[in-house]
Structure 1
Amino acid sequence: MSFKIAIIGAGSVGFTKKLFTDILCVPEFQDIEFALTDLSDHNLQMIKAILDRIVEANRLPTRVTATTDRRKALEGARYVISCVRVGGLEAYADDIRIPLKYGIDQCVGDTICAGGILYGQRNIPVILDFCKDIREFAEPGAKFLNYANPMAMNTWAAIEYGKVDTVGLCHGVQHGAEQIAEVLGAKSHSDLDYICSGINHQTWFIDLRLNGRRICKDELVAAFEAHPVYSQQEKLRIDVLKRFGVYSTESNGHLSEYLPWYRKRPDEITRWIDMSDWIHGETGGYLRYSTETRNWFETEFPQFLEAASKPIDPAKRSNEHASHILEALETNRVYRGHFNVKNNGVITNLPQDAIIESPGFVDRFGINMTSGITLPEACAATCTSSINVQRMSVHAAISGDIDLLKLAVLHDPLVGAVSTPEEVWQMVDEMVVAQARWLPQYADAIPAAKERLSKSKVRTREWAGAARRDVRSIEELRAEKAALKQAV
């Protein structure tokens, strides 16, 4: 087989390498072209060097090109994969820093909550540019695989306004299933069967079976509470499991910021999180991790390049969906996964226009979703609250309506639990002004926002958050890595 895959945001070096090696694990896919594109030529050249080394080491006919000209990369592409973060770490830092001034303490801030909503405002105009270019330059009927957050908002915009065949992909379901298999003592992950459904980052394991035996709530609660690690790292998720009756896919830190109950007061935050790793609830945890990872890759590039000389091992193919979807579409080897698509009746008690994440099967005929799923009422209520925020956020990003943007932020569950309307109005003004260079749709609203900020009397405070850690230096990371290696 010979076809072209374009990867937008390919400067996300580690993730691009994973997608690349996964796809090359499919025997039929060796004679294909990968077209890498990114705003940073520096990052492009680094990832291209790594991928070229993989191709050379494995003696493959695979072709790798890299260009900052997105349209050139898209020419004739059958598949387009997006891994972009518009505004980079600079804008992301504002997504965390500014809401903290108003008492909103986020762990990640990339899906909803104040940070996720502004992230969507930056991404959606760019996503629509991608879609326009895909329609004009890619192969007719090209499929757009979106990995970028905020997943639901980006996918919603691409489908409803971009008019491109789009699926959103995430790995939260796989990671949650791995945890469940471990606590239940499964010999293999394949021993666990499940139906997981909801919306991205709020997906629920509504049916669990271990070797065909149905797992009830009480058994799952007992298994998590008995686990020496997860009982401490996932305290909030376990509490939600006890109250809702089903386990959520998303990490302790992520889940905490989608709900109005656990991060509303600093003392509550420290009660429910765990500081052993960023993902369990640390203030700005993913921002710290992303900063360290960028610094680490820049410094340790020779080691990454050396590692690329190893043969590709199909046994180590990851559970990221992309390679498996492409394999099913091209070879008709059926793949079952969980995909972000427009609802259209798949989940009976969520809005029809929402982007849901639910099981489906892929073959030559495309992605075929399993329809007629009904969520438990509490899960549906929680998802619907987020969907309403997502819908307003998408429409605000399309229209440049700053009042609608403020209403979207006001209706966010955690923001509403912490902030008053006056605080929300000022916070959004401050975030839009700070990120103006990435928000072209709000250009006409910026002067008035600046004027309001100059006269505002809403009090704010400067603080690091309830549970903040400093960004570690390269030397500290090296020492930590060495210590872990010695312990093993």
Structure 2
Amino acid sequence: MSFKIAIIGAGSVGFTKKLFTDILCVPEFKGIEFALTDVSEHNLQMIKAILDRIVEANKLPTKVTATTDRRKALEGARYVISCVRVGGLEAYADDIRIPLKYGIDQCVGDTICAGGILYGQRNIPVILDFCKDIREVAETDAKFLNYANPMAMNTWAAIEYGKVDTVGLCHGVQHGAEQIAEVLGAKSPWELDYVCSGINHQTWFIELRLNGREIGKDELVAAFEAHPVYSRQEKLRIDVLKRFGVYSTESNGHLSEYLPWYRKRPDEITRWIDMSDWIHGETGGYLRYSTETRNWFETEYPQFLEAAAKPIDPSKRSNEHASHILEALETNRVYRGHFNVKNDGVITNLPQDAIVESPGFVDRFGINMAAGITLPEACAATCMSSINVQRMSVHAAISGDIDLLKLAVLHDPLVGAVSTPEEVWQMVDEMVVAEAAWLPQYAHAVPAAKERLSKSSVKTREWAGAARRSVRSIEELRAEKAALKQAG
């Protein structure tokens, strides 16, 4: 087969390498073209060198190009994959730092909450630029595969306003299923059959069967509480399972910031999280992890380049959806996964315009969703709170309406549990001013926001958060890696 895949944000080096090797595990795809594009020439050249090394080591006819000219990369592409982080770690640091001044402690801050909403404001104008280019220079009816967060907002904007055939992809469902299979003692995750449905990062395992046997709430709670690791790392997630009756896909730290109950007071935060890894609830955990990963990669790049000169092993193909979707569309080998799409009847008790994450099947006719799923009422209610915030956030990003943006942040469950309206209004002003370089739609509102900030009497505090860790040095990371290797 011969077709072109464009990857936007290809400077996300580790993830791009994973997608690339996954796709080349499909035998029919050896002769396709990958066009890499990113705003960073430095990162582009690093990832291109790695992918070229893979192609050379495996004696493949695969073509790899790299350019900062996005339209050139998109020309003639049949598939476009986005894994961008608009504003990079600089803007992301403000997504965490500024809300902390108002008492809002986030673990990740990339989906909703104050950080996720502002992240969406930075992303959506760029997403619409991507869509314009796709419509104008990519293959007719090219498919846009969005991996970038905030998943629901980005996908919503691309479908509703970008008018491009878009699907949002995430690996939360797969990771949650692996956990469940492990605690139930399955020999392989394939023994677990499940229906998982909801919205991205708030998807719920509403049906579970292990080797055909139905698994109920009590058995699942007992299995998690008996597990020596997850019983400690997933305390909040287990508590939600006990109260809702179903398990959530999202990690302890992620889930904690989508709900109004667990992160609104410092003592409550430390009660429900675990500090063994960033993903279990650490303040600004993903920011720290991302910073360390970037620094590590920059320093250890020669080793990454050397490791690329190995044969591709199809048995190590990951469970990221992209390669499996492309394989199903191009070869008609059917693939079942969980995809982010416009609702349109997929989930009966969520709004039809919402972006939902739910089961679907892919073949040469496209992505075909299983329709008519009804969520348990508590799950639907929790999803609804986020959907209302997402809808307002998308509309604010499109219109550049700072008052609507403030209302979106005000209605966020965790923000509303922590902050007063006056605090929210000032916090949004502060974030828009700090991130103005990536918020062109709010340029008209920045002068007035600065004026309000100069006269504000709302008190803030310099607070690192309830459970903050410092970014580790390369030397510390090396020592930790060596210790783990010796212990293992």
The verdict on a shared fold, with TM-score over 0.5 as the criterion, is yes
* Distance in structure 2 (CA, Å) of the matches to 1:212 and 1:102: 49
CA distance in 2: counterparts of 1:4 and 1:324, whole angstroms:
16
Structure 1, residues 197-236: CA drift from partner, whole Å, max 9, x if none?
0000000000000000000000000000000000000000
Does 2:441 align with 1:413?
no
1:233 aligns with 2:233: yes
Tell me if 1:69 matches 2:80: no
In 2, the alpha carbon distance for the partners of 1:79 and 1:18 equals 17
Q: CA deviation at 1:92?
A: 0.1
CA distance in 1, matches of 2:448, 2:280: 39
Deviation at 1:468, TM superposition (A): 0.3
Inter-partner Cα distance in structure 2 for 1:346 and 1:73:
34
Separation (CA, whole Å) in 1 of partners of 2:342 and 2:285: 30
Residues matched between the structures, number: 488
Which consecutive aligned stretches of 4+ in structure 1 deviate over 6 angstroms post-superposition?
A: none
DSSP 3-state at the match of 1:105: coil
Deviations 1:317-370 (A, max 9, x none): 000000000000000000000000000010000000000000000000000000
- The DSSP-based 3-state class of the residue aligned with 2:302 is helix
Q: Secondary structure at the match of 2:20?
A: helix
Q: Match for residue 436 of structure 1? A: 436
Q: Deviations over 1:48-74 (max 9, x none)?
A: 000000000000000000000000000
* Rounded Cα–Cα distance in structure 2 between residues aligned with 1:243 and 1:166: 35
Aligned residue in 1 for 2:13: 13
1:147 is matched with 147
Q: Quick one: distance in 1 between partners of 2:419 and 2:452?
A: 18
In 2, Cα distance between the equivalents of 1:16 and 1:443?
33
CA-CA distance at 1:137 after TM superposition:
0.6
Q: Write out per-residue CA displacement over residues 430-485 of structure 1, whole angstroms, 9 at most, x where no aligned residue.
A: 00000001000001100000000000000000010000000000000000000000
State percent identity of aligned pairs. 93
CA distance in 1, matches of 2:128, 2:232: 42
Question: Which residue does the alignment assign to 2:260?
Answer: 260
Q: Spell out, residue by residue over 1:238-262, the C-alpha distance to the aligned partner (whole angstroms, 9 max, x if none).
A: 0000000000000000000000000
SS in 1 for 2:36: strand
User: Superposed, which structure 2 residues align to 1:294-305 within 5 Å?
Assistant: 294-305=294-305
Q: Secondary structure at the match of 2:263?
A: coil
For residues 140 and 345 of structure 2, the distance between their equivalents in structure 1, rounded to whole angstroms, comes to 27
Residue 132 of structure 1 corresponds to 132
Q: Secondary structure at the match of 1:357?
A: strand
State the superposition RMSD in angstroms.
0.2
Counterpart of 2:287 in structure 1 is 287
Structure 2-normalised TM-score?
Answer: 1.00
Whole-angstrom distance in 1 between the partners of 2:57 and 2:50:
11
Tell me, in whole angstroms, the C-alpha distance in 2 between the residues paired with 1:448 and 1:90.
24
Q: Distance in 1 between matches of 2:154 and 2:186?
A: 36
Q: Tell me the secondary structure at the aligned position of residue 300 of structure 1.
A: helix
For structure 2, the 5+ residue unaligned runs are none
Alpha-carbon deviation of 1:87?
0.2
Give the structure 2 partner of residue 4 of structure 1. Answer: 4
Gap runs ≥5 in structure 1: none
SS in 2 for 1:461: coil
Q: In the aligned structure 1, how far is the partner of 2:297 from the partner of 2:35?
A: 22
> How far did 1:8 drift?
0.1
Partner of 1:189: 189
Secondary structure at the counterpart of residue 294 of structure 2: helix
How far apart, CA to CA, are the structure 1 residues paired with 2:75 and 2:429? 39
TM-score by length of 1: 1.00
Partners in 2 of 1:291 and 1:128 — Cα distance?
A: 28
Please give the alpha-carbon distance, in whole angstroms, between the structure 1 residues aligned to 2:5 and 2:117.
29
Aligned mates of 1:141, 1:444 — CA distance in 2: 35
In the aligned structure 1, how far is the partner of 2:479 from the partner of 2:414? 37
**CA distance in 2 between partners of 1:187 and 1:297 (Å):** 34
The Cα of 1:264 is off from its aligned counterpart by 0.3
Q: Secondary structure at the match of 2:287?
A: helix
Matched, 1:47 2:41: no
Shift of 1:28: 0.1
